[in-house]
Amino acid sequence: MATNSVSSAWAGVALLALACSANGGARAGELEISGSVAYGPDTPVFSNRNIAFSFQIPDTIVSNPTSDVSNFHFSVDGVALPDAGSYFTKVEFWSAASAGMFTLFDTDNDTIDIYGAQVLNGLTLSTGAYVVAADVNASNWPAGMGSGDVTIQTIPVVSAPEASTWLMLLAGFAGLGLAARRAAGLRSAR
């Protein structure tokens, strides 16, 4: 009888270990790209203004340009553009051979080009901190230049446990409870 309670205890421990390792950990990470640019007086749209932006993107790009962008934030002189994620629709990345830049496209296909951030190697983005130049290109915006910085960093994304993981965890606790109950019954029967 003691063998059964020990077996149940080991089965419970095994299920608990399996549940804890089944889905606990980071899945493929994402990158956060953030930066700021100060424009001089020769840029009519952003004349003597500062822009700041940040967005997240998978660490490997499936298509270029990509619309697979999340958590997009954009501000001018500290004032956030409401619903920036629907205003900026896609990002196109360029290799170091093409001045190492990326382009932010808005809904009118007007662009902000960021030069000097060596972000693309194949379809994989490179992390780091970069000093950049930036311009604004739009049919109704005169071109202008600014300078600033961009940081590209990895954000580990932790996944939530699946239903099967919770079931294994509960089964493990039930096995341990059963083993403890049997052990208590054996002690009282002696």
Confidence of residue 28 (pLDDT cuts 50, 70, 90): low
> In the chain, where are the structural domains located?
2-24+160-189, 26-158
CA pseudo-torsion sign 78, 79, 84, 90:
negative
Whole-angstrom Cα distance, residue 24 to residue 94?
35
| pLDDT over threshold 80, residue 31 | yes
Give the number of residues written for the chain.
190
Q: Which of 23-27, 96-100, 159-163, 171-175 has the lowest mean pLDDT?
A: 23-27
What are 160's two structure tokens?
């939530």
> Backbone dihedral region of 30: left (phi > 0), alpha (psi from -120 to 50 degrees) or beta?
beta
Q: What integer pLDDT is reported at residue 142 of this predicted model?
A: 47
* Cβ atoms < 10 Å from Cβ of 181: 12
Give the model confidence (pLDDT) of 157-170 as tens digits: 556 667 776 666 67
Q: Which CATH class is domain 26-158?
A: mainly beta
Q: Has this prediction a pTM greater than 0.75?
A: no
- Who has greater pLDDT, 84 or 50? 50
In the predicted structure, residue 138 carries a pLDDT above the cut 80: no
Distances (CA, A) of 80 to 51, 55, 73, 104, 175: 10, 13, 7, 16, 54
- CA 47, 116, 131, 30 torsion-angle sign: positive
User: Which has the minimum average pLDDT: 58-67, 126-135, 136-145, 147-156?
Assistant: 136-145
Coil, helix or strand for 66?
strand
Higher pLDDT, 179 or 9: 179
The letter for the amino acid at 2 is A
Reported confidence tier of residue 77, pLDDT bands at 50, 70, 90: very high
Please report the pLDDT score of residue 48 as a whole number.
85
